[in-house]
């Protein structure tokens, strides 16, 4: 939780978001709400989501003004300074047009931004999806109310799905709004704050409707590698600094975890694709694979980790929904790393190449070299 002094000052501070900008944001929000209604979501869901987004937009405070306040605690000041520096890095070093995203801060009265519900069939690695205008089909649905999220999860369980309910601290509106950095993000350390900013900004640079796994794995790659390059090259940083080493270690851990979940996916697809097995046989066989995978994680994978990033993995039950949620963000990360290595570490050049060649393939992952099974 942020320092109480910051909370008080933020709410009393005049925002540098003029009325015309706010009116424009509200008009955009209303338009998107109408489009989402067309997409088939219930009116109540749309109204609640729209109001939650409007509350966030109205809470925005200019970061420069906040930093001018001498009473802000040093930890918060440092993180907000990193947010602005990460914006400049994204523009100057990666070629991302950031617009007004993350120029402002929004204090929330809760520890998490929203809750995300996802679901999957029990006998195959296939997510339940929801269709929305602009972004296409997505395998999750966000809620700003715990009760609403639990109700949705219960409904999906009754329909026979595996489910997963998780919190999220940030999201991107893909440039439709001037996204603020949220107080929920500042609960993390400096490396994670910068990674989050670069991850979300990458969605503004390259986003393919209906290709959620590529979009999120790409953003994970950009966020992790970008954060490492940021801390290892910035003035006051360097290759031997703790933040540089921490960012690099986390990126290596992400690649290890990627190999682990992708290998589990291959094993499960072999079982699920066996036409000679019944639904019950497949569900029974998958439990054996899950058990063996968790043992392998404890004995072989976890001891290799250099950070505590994945310490919460064992705290969540393993099913198709939880596995797919991991694959969504960690699919083929070593192949992204190999592609970067083949280009001499030129992240900006790789991003530009991916964006210009994306239309040449039906599956964006076909653009990656296959360096892992």
- pLDDT per residue as tens digits for the range 111-170: 778 889 999 999 999 999 988 766 778 899 988 889 999 999 999 999 999 999 998 877
User: How deeply is 308 buried, as exposed, middle or buried, from its count of CB atoms within 10 A (0-12, 13-18, 19+)?
Assistant: exposed
Q: State the residue range of the domain holding 275.
A: 4-367
Which pLDDT does position 237 carry in this prediction?
A: 87
Domain-embedded: residue 372: no
Domain-embedded: residue 169: yes
What band does 174 get if pLDDT is binned at 50, 70 and 90?
low
In this predicted structure, the answer to whether residue 37 has a pLDDT above a threshold of 80 is no
Dist CA 49 CA 149 (whole Å): 12
> Region 7-35: what's the mean pLDDT?
39
In this predicted structure, the answer to whether residue 38 has a pLDDT above a threshold of 50 is no
In this predicted structure, the answer to whether residue 40 has a pLDDT above a threshold of 90 is no
Domain-embedded: residue 146: yes
What band does 290 get if pLDDT is binned at 50, 70 and 90?
very high
| Interior/surface letters 28-65, b for 16+ CB within 10 angstroms, e for the rest | ebeebbeebeebebeeebbeebbebbbebbebbbbbeb
Domain-embedded: residue 373: no
**To the nearest whole percent, how much of the chain has pLDDT over 70?**
83
> Region 256-284: what's the mean pLDDT?
97
Torsion sign over Cα 164, 165, 171, 175: positive
In this predicted structure, the answer to whether residue 29 has a pLDDT above a threshold of 70 is no
What band does 50 get if pLDDT is binned at 50, 70 and 90?
low
Domain-embedded: residue 148: yes
Which pLDDT does position 45 carry in this prediction?
A: 56
Mean pLDDT (the chain) is: 86
In this predicted structure, the answer to whether residue 203 has a pLDDT above a threshold of 70 is yes
Higher pLDDT, 94 or 143: 94
Which pLDDT does position 19 carry in this prediction?
A: 39
Domain-embedded: residue 139: yes
Domain-embedded: residue 349: yes
Which pLDDT does position 300 carry in this prediction?
A: 97
> Region 217-221: what's the mean pLDDT?
98
Domain tally, the chain: 1
In this predicted structure, the answer to whether residue 268 has a pLDDT above a threshold of 50 is yes
Dist CA 77 CA 66 (whole Å): 8
Ranking 73-82, 239-248, 307-316 by mean pLDDT, the lowest is 307-316
What band does 370 get if pLDDT is binned at 50, 70 and 90?
confident
In this predicted structure, the answer to whether residue 46 has a pLDDT above a threshold of 60 is no
What band does 14 get if pLDDT is binned at 50, 70 and 90?
very low
Which pLDDT does position 59 carry in this prediction?
A: 83
- Dihedral angle, C-alpha 232, 233, 239, 240, nearest 10 °: -90
Dist CA 285 CA 132 (whole Å): 35
Which pLDDT does position 20 carry in this prediction?
A: 41
Domain-embedded: residue 261: yes
Dist CA 139 CA 124 (whole Å): 14
Higher pLDDT, 108 or 160: 160
Bridge-based pairing of strands 136-138 and 130-132 is antiparallel
Which pLDDT does position 104 carry in this prediction?
A: 95
**To the nearest whole percent, how much of the chain has pLDDT over 90?**
70
Which pLDDT does position 372 carry in this prediction?
A: 57
């Amino acid at each position: 939780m942020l320092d109480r002094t910051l909370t008080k000052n933020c709410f009393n501070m005049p925002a540098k978001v003029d009325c015309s900008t706010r009116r424009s944001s509200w008009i955009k929000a209303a338009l998107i709400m109408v489009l989402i209604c067309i997409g088939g979501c219930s009116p109540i869901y749309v109204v609640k989501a729209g109001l939650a987004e409007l509350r966030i937009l109205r809470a925005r405070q200019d970061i420069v003004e906040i930093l001018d306040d001498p009473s802000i605690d040093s930890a918060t000041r440092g993180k907000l300074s990193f947010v602005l520096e990460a914006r400049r890095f994204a523009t100057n070093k990666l070629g991302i047009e950031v617009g007004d995203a993350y120029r402002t801060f929004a204090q929330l009265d809760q520890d998490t931004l929203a809750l995300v519900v996802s679901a999957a069939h029990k006998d195959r690695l296939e997510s339940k999806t929801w269709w929305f205008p602009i972004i296409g089909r997505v395998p999750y649905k966000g809620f700003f109310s715990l009760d609403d999220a639990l109700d949705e999860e219960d409904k999906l369980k009754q329909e026979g799905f595996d489910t997963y309910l998780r919190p999220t601290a940030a999201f991107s509106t893909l440039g439709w709004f001037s996204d603020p950095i949220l107080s929920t993000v500042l609960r993390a350390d400096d490396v994670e704050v910068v990674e989050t900013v670069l991850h979300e900004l990458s969605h503004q640079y390259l986003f393919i409707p209906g290709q959620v796994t590529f979009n999120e794995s790409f953003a994970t790659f950009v966020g992790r590698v970008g954060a490492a390059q940021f801390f290892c090259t910035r003035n006051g940083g360097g290759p031997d600094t703790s933040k540089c080493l921490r960012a690099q270690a986390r990126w290596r851990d992400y690649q290890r975890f990627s190999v682990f979940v992708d290998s589990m996916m291959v094993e499960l697809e072999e079982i699920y694709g066996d036409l000679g097995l019944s639904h019950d046989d497949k569900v029974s066989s998958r439990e054996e694979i899950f058990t063996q995978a968790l043992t392998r994680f404890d004995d072989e994978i976890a001891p290799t980790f250099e950070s505590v990033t994945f310490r919460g993995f064992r705290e969540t039950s393993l099913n198709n929904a939880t596995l797919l949620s991991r694959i969504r963000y960690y699919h083929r990360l070593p192949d992204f790393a190999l592609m970067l290595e083949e280009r001499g570490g030129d992240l900006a050049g790789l991003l530009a190449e991916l964006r210009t060649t994306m239309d040449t393939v039906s599956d964006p992952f076909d653009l990656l070299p296959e360096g892992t099974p």
